[in-house]
Amino acid sequence: MIPPTDSAQHRRANWIRALEQIHDPQSRLGWILDQARSIAPLPVHLRTEPHLFPGCRVRLWWIPSFHNGQCEFHTDSDSVTLKALTHLIAQICGKSTPSEIAELDFSFLETLGVLRQLAESRQATLRRIIEATHEFTSLHRAKNL
């Protein structure tokens, strides 16, 4: 796993650095999937209907929260690919302020070819998760200005 650090930008940079070490996009995705194998599943009490992300063909739980000025995201899925990639987003964004997250750009997933390894429906889901993350943080950013 990429170790947690103080800022979302730094965590993002660590992921990019690690992925750039792997030259084949398919291998990059494989490495991300390997990282996800150690992620504990969401507790059963959180794997509920209200936490399901809408519009997915598989079950994907996405739980945003806001405490003490910081955003936190918990996620899980029946799909190991979605579990891995949404966890990557949650890990980068977690324990960050809405302003920090607003500045994040996840285009590196496209640039490094990770998204191209996915079916179109999975690409769309991941883009919607990123959008939902930014919408959630925008809501809390507006409240704290």
Q: Does 143 have pLDDT greater than 90?
A: no
Q: Across the strands, what pairs with 143?
A: none
Q: Does 46 have pLDDT greater than 80?
A: yes
Tell me the pLDDT tens digit for each residue of 112-132. 999 999 999 999 999 999 999
Q: Contact 90/136 with Cβ under 8 angstroms? A: no
Characterize 89-101 residue by residue with b for buried, 16 or more Cβ atoms within 10 angstroms of its Cβ, and e for exposed. bbbbbbbbbbebb
Domain ranges of the chain: 8-143
Task: Please report the pLDDT score of residue 140 as a whole number.
Answer: 82
Angle separating helix axes 25-36 and 80-93, nearest 10 degrees: 80
Six-digit token string for 140: 């809390």
Tell me the pLDDT tens digit for each residue of 72-109. 999 999 999 999 999 999 999 999 999 999 999 999 99
The dotted CATH code for 8-143 is 3.90.1010.10
C-alpha to C-alpha distance for 5 and 96, rounded to whole angstroms: 10
Task: Please report the pLDDT score of residue 37 as a whole number.
Answer: 87
Provide CB contacts within 8 A for 25, sequence distance 6+. 112, 113, 114, 116, 117
Six-digit token string for 113: 């070819």
